[in-house]
Amino acid sequence: MHGGFDRRQLLAGMGLLAATPLWAQRMPPKIRAFPFTLGVAAGDPDPTGFVIWTRLVPEPGEPLSGLEPFPYPLRWEVAEDEGFSRIAAAGETLARPELGFSAHVTVSGLRPERPYHYRFRSGDMLSATGRARTMPLAGADVRQVRLAVGGCQEYQGGLYTAWGDVAKADVDAIFHYGDYIYEGGPVASRMNWSTGQMESTVRLHDGPMIFSLDDYRRRYTLTRRDEDLQAAHASAAFLCSFDDHELVNNWVGDVDQAETPAEVFRLRRQAAMQAWYEFMPVRADALPVNGVSGPYRQYRFGRLLDARMLNTRNWRTDQPCGDKYGSFCPEVNRKDAEVLGRQQEEWLVKGLKADPARWNALLQQIMVMDLDRARAETKTINTDSWAAYAVPRDRLLDGLKGVPNLVVLTGDEHQHFAGEVRKTGEAPEAPARAIEFVTTSISSGSDGPGERKEHAAFLSRNPGLKYIRDERGYSLMTVTPDGWTADLKVVDSIRRTGGKVSTAASWRVPAGVARLERAG
C-alpha cells in the first residue's frame, strides 16, 4: 500500500516535469552529516492518512545548510508498529532546493482512527520516528477526542517547557493557533509587562528583523532546533494555523501597520508564507499563491466533533482606530468590514448548519468575546480582535445560531481566558451563543504572576468572562458526548530548565447549553 507523491508525481504537480533541467536529473552529492536535525512532523490528518514532513539541515550555519543545489531523494515509511515490522505505506520523495530542502508527503490508504509511526531515510541515515493518528470516518460513533492547543512561542520569551509536556499528553491532534516564530531582532533585556520589571532575555534570536526568504528560513531553523518542540511534533499530528508574527505584528491583507506600500509588502508576505509552508506539515494546497497561504480547513472527528480551522489574516480589513490597543472609535461599526471574507464565512456557516456534529468548534487566532479592556471610563477594546469588527462578528454569530454546542478556541492574548460569547450589546442574562477558551502563550511574555492586580476590575467589567490567568502554558481539551472539558495548563517558570507544569483550572461545558462550570 502506497501513499504520497513519487518523484514523477511531485514534479508534475509543481509543473516542472516537462522542462526538468539536466542538473535535476543527476544524483546529488552524498550528504556529509546527519541531515534530520530539525526532526519530523505530521499534520492535516484525515480518515485515510496525513502529511509527514522533514527538512534536510545537516549543517544549520552553512549556506544551503551544507547541501548542494540539487533535489535530494528521501525514502519514507509508515508503519503500524514502532519497530516498523508492519509497513502500511512507503515510497520516495524529493527534498527540493526551491523549497529549502523540505519534504511534504501526503500519505493515503491508511485505516481510519488508528495510530501510525513514520520516519524518513537518507542513504543509511534514519530520522527520528514520529507518531500520528488518522481521523475517524465522518459517521463514526466517537466517544472521546483529546486536543492540545498551543502557540505564541517567541524564542526569546523563554523555554518551550510546555511543548515537552504536550509531547507526553497522548492526544489525538495538536492545534497550533499561530505565532510559531517572531520577526524581531535580538533583545538582551526587556520590560515584562505582567510584572513591571526589566528582565534579561533567556535566549536570543540569531539576527536582526527578518524580511527575506532566507531570513525567515533561518528564524524557523533556529526555532525548530528546540528539543521540546521537536518532541511535540513527533508525538501527534499538528493542525497548523498562522497568525501575525509569522510575517509581522498585526498585519492583515495587504497592510503591515507600518505604511509600507502594498506592492512591497506583498513581496515580504510571499517570502514569509513560503517559509511557513516549507516548515509546516501541511498539504500541497497550502503552497502560497501571491502570498496567500494556509487555507481554511475542516477536521471531522466522526459524529462527535466538527472542528473548523479559520484564517483571520488574509481577508480581513484593516484594524480600526489606528490599530491602537485599548481604544474605541466609530470604525468599529464599519458596515463593510470583514474578518473572514464572505467566501470563508459562507463555507463555515453553511457547513456547520448543514451537518452539525455533537460538538462544533472554531479553531482560530483572535479573541471573539467582546471584552471591555478596562483602560478608561468608557469602553475600550483590543483592535486586533473580533471586538473591533462588530458588523461581521454579529453577522457570524447570527449565521451560526442554532448550531449546537459551539466552542471557540483562540490564542494571541498571552493569557488563559474562559468566557461566554454574546452578540455586541447583548445583556449578560441573555443565553450565550458560544463558549470561548483562549489559550495562553507557550513562551511569549516570559513568566507571569498568575493573577494581576487589574484582573478583578477586568472581570467585574466583563460579566461574561469567567476566568483569566497570566502564566505560560497550553490547554488540553477533552470532548465527550456529555461535555467539553478544558484543562488550562501552566508552567511555574520558563526562564530556567526544569519548569513544572500543573493544571491552573479546569472548566466544563455541559452538552446542550453554553454554560461554563468549574471542574477543578
pLDDT tens profile 241-297: 999 999 999 999 999 999 999 999 999 999 999 999 999 999 999 999 988 986 799
3-state secondary structure of 271: helix
Say what percent of the chain tops pLDDT 90: 90
In this prediction, residue 196 has a pLDDT band, given cuts at 50, 70 and 90, of: confident
> What is the rounded average pLDDT for all residues in the chain?
94
Direct distance between the N- and C-terminal alpha carbons of the chain, in angstroms, rounded to an integer: 46
In this prediction, residue 26 has a pLDDT band, given cuts at 50, 70 and 90, of: low
In this prediction, residue 28 has a pLDDT band, given cuts at 50, 70 and 90, of: confident
Nearest alpha carbon to residue 140 among 295, 292, 306: 306
17-26, 228-237, 318-327, 473-482: range with lowest mean pLDDT = 17-26
CA 275 centroid distance within chain: 15
* Beta strands at 102-107 and 238-240: parallel, antiparallel or unpaired: unpaired
74-88, 94-108, 116-130, 184-198: range with lowest mean pLDDT = 184-198
Predicted TM-score (pTM) of the model is 0.94
Domain boundaries, the chain: 7-133, 145-180+236-247+289-518
Q: Mark residue 4 as left, alpha or beta (left: phi above 0; alpha: psi -120 to 50; beta: remaining).
A: left
pLDDT tens profile 268-279: 999 999 999 999
- CB atoms < 10 A from the CB of 299, how many? 22
Check pLDDT > 80 for residue 40: yes
| Spatial distance between the Cα atoms of 357 and 8, rounded to a whole number of angstroms | 39
Q: What's the whole-number mean pLDDT along residues 390-399?
A: 98
Check pLDDT > 70 for residue 138: yes
Sign for the pseudo-dihedral over CA of 61, 64, 68, 73: positive
Q: Is 409 exposed, middle or buried (0-12, 13-18, 19+ CB in 10 A)?
A: buried
Cell of 79: 508503519
In this prediction, residue 520 has a pLDDT band, given cuts at 50, 70 and 90, of: confident
pLDDT tens profile 401-428: 999 999 999 999 999 999 999 999 899 9
Task: Write the single-letter amino acid at 457.
Answer: A
Ranges of beta strands (E only) in 127-237 are: 130-133, 145-150, 173-176, 189-192, 197-200
Which positions ≥6 away from 249 have C-beta within 8 Å? 183, 257
CATH superfamily, with its number, for domain 7-133: Purple acid phosphatase-like, N-terminal (2.60.40.380)
Q: What's the whole-number mean pLDDT along residues 488-507?
A: 98
CATH superfamily, with its number, for domain 145-180+236-247+289-518: Alkaline phosphatase D (PhoD) (3.60.21.70)
Residue 363 near residue 320 (C-beta atoms within 8 A) = no
Residue 237 near residue 42 (C-beta atoms within 8 A) = yes
Residue 509 near residue 496 (C-beta atoms within 8 A) = no
Q: What's the whole-number mean pLDDT along residues 339-362?
A: 97
3-state secondary structure of 222: helix
Check pLDDT > 80 for residue 398: yes
Given this model, what pLDDT does residue 6 score? 42
- CB atoms < 10 A from the CB of 119, how many? 21
| Spatial distance between the Cα atoms of 58 and 36, rounded to a whole number of angstroms | 7
In this prediction, residue 193 has a pLDDT band, given cuts at 50, 70 and 90, of: confident
